[in-house]
Chains A and B, each alone.
Chain A
Amino acid sequence: MSLKLTTRQVGDVVIVDAAGRITLGEGSSAFRDTIKDLVNKGHKKILVNLGEVTYIDSSGIGELVSGYTTVSNAGGQMKLLNLTKRVHDLLQITKLYTVFEVFDDEAKALASF
């Protein structure tokens, strides 16, 4: 399954619902383009919902980091929601758990911005 990305706005936060695989190629470039597009439109509070992401390779992890940097450099915040165990494990292995703010409850995530 390739990556499907949909966005919805709750207050001043944009939630990016991702589903499928974020891997080198189409998946990672689609994610990158979505985040850049949101930043270019002036959005500064972005919550990435990874609950339906079944697989993310090291390139996809790189795109998460790149997105985080892009949003931060624009004066905004990008946070993560609903990690699967596998994505959680990858963030532990790569120490990115120390970088990202991660939530498993959407309401709490929204309130944190």
Chain B
Amino acid sequence: MPNAESTPEILYDQYLESTLASVDASEEAAKSVAERLGYDEEETYHIGYAVREAVVNAVVHGNTYSANKRVRLRMERSAGWLEVIVEDEGRGFEESRQADPLARENLLSQSGRGLLIIRAFMDEVDIGRTEAGGTRLRMRKSLPAGG
């Protein structure tokens, strides 16, 4: 029989337009969820930041601002974790093809740091593909004590 420990609790699940307004809305939604789960101010900032960067990648690089494509943002609580999933309708993302933003020759690049910061702010980050071939970014952060 399912119990609260094994059944994820859906905290947020929305399809967003591929716009900068969605980026702002996703950050606010993530911060709201994090506060509700009892994360402290710094952790809430980290979660909001990571979600914002993930949605920026989905809107800008995945869906290339297309009015016909949506970004799915889903947040759920499972045993000990907050899990966030961001999916786009683009053509997928190969992390191995990305330049290392910490390499000396790339330090002055204008872009390419979002994923680095997401990894710094979240406990686990996994990048895969949706069934339709878009990018699915899954990230987790351990729940605060008592959360």
Q: How far is the CA of A94 from the CA of B109 in the complex (A)?
A: 11
User: Taking chain A's interface residues, is the majority helix, strand, or loop, or is none over half, making it mixed?
Assistant: helix
Contact of B117 (CB < 8 Å), options: A23, A65, A93 = A93
User: Taking chain B's interface residues, is the majority helix, strand, or loop, or is none over half, making it mixed?
Assistant: helix
Q: Is there contact, CB below 8 Å, between A96 and B53?
A: no
Instruction: Say whether, besides A93-B117, A94-B102, A65 and B52 are in contact (CB < 8 Å).
Output: no
Instruction: Annotate B97-109 by CB proximity to A: 1 below 8 A, 0 otherwise.
Output: 0000110000111
Determine whether B8 belongs to the interface, using a CB cutoff of 8 Å to chain A. no
Q: How far is the CA of A25 from the CA of B52 in the complex (A)?
A: 13
Closest beta carbon of chain A to B58's beta carbon, Å: 13
Contact of B101 (CB < 8 Å), options: A68, A90, A94, A98 = A94
Q: Tell me the B73-129 residues at the A interface (CB within 8 Å).
A: 101-102, 107-111, 113-114, 116-117, 120
Determine whether B137 belongs to the interface, using a CB cutoff of 8 Å to chain A. no
Determine whether A46 belongs to the interface, using a CB cutoff of 8 Å to chain B. no
By a CB distance below 8 angstroms, the chain A residues around B109 are 62, 65
Determine whether A95 belongs to the interface, using a CB cutoff of 8 Å to chain B. yes
Q: Tell me the A5-32 residues at the B interface (CB within 8 Å).
A: 23-25
Instruction: Say whether, besides A58-B53, A86-B45, A65 and B110 are in contact (CB < 8 Å).
Output: yes
Determine whether A40 belongs to the interface, using a CB cutoff of 8 Å to chain B. no
Least CB separation from A94: chain B residue:
B113
The A/B interface has a contact count, at CB < 8 Å, of 48
Contact of B56 (CB < 8 Å), options: A24, A66, A68, A95 = A24
By a CB distance below 8 angstroms, the chain A residues around B102 are 94-95
Closest beta carbon of chain A to B98's beta carbon, Å: 13
By a CB distance below 8 angstroms, the chain B residues around A59 are 56, 111
By a CB distance below 8 angstroms, the chain B residues around A25 are 20
* Residues of A in contact with B (beta carbons under 8 Å apart): 23-25, 57-59, 61-63, 65-66, 68-69, 86, 90, 93-96, 98-99
Q: 4 nearest interchain CB pairs?
A: A62-B110, A58-B114, A58-B113, A93-B120
* 25 cross-chain CB contacts under 8 A: A23-B52, A25-B20, A57-B49, A57-B52, A57-B53, A57-B114, A58-B113, A59-B111, A61-B113, A62-B109, A62-B110, A62-B113, A65-B107, A65-B108, A65-B109, A65-B110, A66-B110, A68-B108, A69-B108, A93-B116, A93-B117, A93-B120, A94-B113, A94-B117, A99-B107
